[in-house]
Amino acid sequence: MMKSVIILAGTTMGSVLSLCKSAHKLGAEVYLISFNEKFAKLYKASKFVNEVYYVQSSVLLTFCKQLVLEKNFLIKPILYSTTDQQCLLISQNRGEFEKIFDLCLPSDEIVKGYNKKGDAERLAERQGILIPKSKLITCLKDTADILKIFSFPIVVKPISSNVKVGYKFKILDKESFEYMFHDETMCNGTVLCQEYIPGEDEAHKFYIFYRDENGDILECMGNKTMQTNGIMTIGTTEKDITLSTICKHFLKSIDYVGVGGLEFKKYENAYYFIEMSTRPEGFLPIADMAGVSLSEASYKCMNNLTVDFNIKQKENIQYFVLLTILVERLKKYKFLSMFKSIFICFLSKNIYCVELFIDYRSYLKSVKSYRFR
């Protein structure tokens, strides 16, 4: 008997759909819990999902206990988290969640440490990983130190996804930095300043993986060919032996078990740690298309089924978030590039578009009505 799957669904649909499709294909019942009412309506139309629930995050544990009692599962279901906030939420009451679920989540030490900027970099550096120079801004003296120590431009980013500052990151020159942090009210310990590592989008390397309790790893890696506000909108698979070696050694040193992702930036043959996700990445479908489904591997392992960890990824597979690309092209009046993107996306056999990961007409209809009304 296959374990049922409970997925805490965020607003990034790629990882959620990949997990749903893999579990459904293997015969599991799939239940989604969404903290966003509008997205809950979207997910309800997918044929890969048995039921969808809209729940306030503050009552998640109570709801989960009721759900497990109601469904009367014969064996513990598996719980997946697909956002940073969800990982931290589960970690706060891990013992209670583990009573009713098998968690696909790394240790609390990893979840809490690597979901906070500043702490994540220090922890990675202890494991021998190269990191950009970083400093947390807690007072005006810190801004003065940054002006003396750092070369500009620099990168500023919130310390975690729980801190709402209106941006994922900003690249600032000296004048912009001085204007942004000119008084004490902005220096409250919620923003990390980081050395800017030169290089365009393709210098950003992604590495997504599933690592089991025995240390076996299934991996998918490549370049962030295009980013929008720090989020990958086009990604291309490409084997990088050095990157693979760095990541495998790092994951072994911290004994990571579960699905996750790492981002590095390559500059002059050096790999600088940018961040780690302790959950399935939003662009998880690229691994499905590359023939190394991390979703399927994780679900099989948690059902004590055999997984082939020797499978190699297909190269030059591209992941497209078409709608985001078209919006960005239109904003900048790049009409030729927009039509080129459409042409490439729909005619190339190696292109994977997250919008095309929808096998249900009513689901597509729901997406259109939600996004364009």
Mean pLDDT of 130-135: 94
List CB contacts of 268: < 8 A, sequence separation 6 or more: none
Reported as a pLDDT band with limits 50, 70 and 90, residue 91 is very high
CA 368 to chain CA centroid, Å, is: 24
Q: The tokens of 277 are what?
A: 């996700």
Give domain 5-105's CATH number out of 3.40.47.10, 1.10.510.10, 3.20.20.70, 3.40.50.20: 3.40.50.20
Q: What are phi and psi of 125, to 5 degrees?
A: -65, -35
Q: Are 133 and 150 in contact (CB under 8 A)?
A: yes
pLDDT of residue 271: 98
User: Using CA atoms, how far apart are residues 342 and 335, in angstroms rounded to an integer?
Assistant: 11
Mind listing the pLDDT tens digit for each residue in 184-239? 888 888 899 999 999 998 999 999 999 999 999 999 999 999 888 778 888 999 99
Reported as a pLDDT band with limits 50, 70 and 90, residue 371 is very low
373 pLDDT more than 50? no
Residue ranges covered by each domain of the chain: 5-105, 133-195, 201-372
Per cent of the chain over pLDDT 90 is 70
Reported as a pLDDT band with limits 50, 70 and 90, residue 161 is confident
Mean pLDDT of 57-73: 96
Mean pLDDT of 118-136: 95
pLDDT of residue 361: 45
357 pLDDT more than 70? no
Mean of the per-residue pLDDT values for the chain? Answer: 89
Q: Are 100 and 4 in contact (CB under 8 A)?
A: no
Please classify residue 355 by burial: count the beta carbons closer than 10 Å to its beta carbon, then call 0-12 exposed, 13-18 middle and 19+ buried: middle
333 pLDDT more than 50? yes
List CB contacts of 252: < 8 A, sequence separation 6 or more: 215
pLDDT of residue 103: 97
Q: Are 237 and 249 in contact (CB under 8 A)?
A: no
pLDDT of residue 231: 84
Q: What are phi and psi of 151, to 5 degrees?
A: -90, 145
364 pLDDT more than 50? no
pLDDT of residue 372: 34
pLDDT of residue 215: 97
Give, in order, the Cα–Cα distances in Å from 166 to each of 169, 190, 237, 338.
9, 12, 30, 27
pLDDT of residue 368: 46
In a 13 Å sphere around the CA of 299, the CA atoms on its Cβ side amount to: 27
Per cent of the chain over pLDDT 70 is 92
Q: The tokens of 44 are what?
A: 């309800």
Reported as a pLDDT band with limits 50, 70 and 90, residue 355 is low
pLDDT of residue 13: 87
Nearest Cα residue to 238 out of 213, 219, 257, 214: 219
314 pLDDT more than 90? yes
Higher pLDDT, residue 103 or 340: 103
H/E stretch holding 17: helix 13-25
Largest CA distance in the chain: 62
pLDDT of residue 236: 94
pLDDT of residue 354: 67
pLDDT of residue 33: 97
pLDDT of residue 356: 57
295 pLDDT more than 90? yes
| Among 20-24, 108-112, 281-285, 328-332, the least confident range | 328-332
Mean pLDDT of 242-270: 97
286 pLDDT more than 90? yes
User: Using CA atoms, how far apart are residues 351 and 340, in angstroms rounded to an integer?
Assistant: 13
User: Using CA atoms, how far apart are residues 125 and 191, in angstroms rounded to an integer?
Assistant: 20
Mean pLDDT of 274-283: 95
297 pLDDT more than 70? yes
CATH fold for domain 201-372:
D-amino Acid Aminotransferase; Chain A, domain 1 (3.30.470)
| Among 43-57, 102-116, 332-346, the least confident range | 332-346
Give domain 133-195's CATH superfamily.
ATP-grasp fold, A domain (3.30.1490.20)
User: Using CA atoms, how far apart are residues 293 and 285, in angstroms rounded to an integer?
Assistant: 8
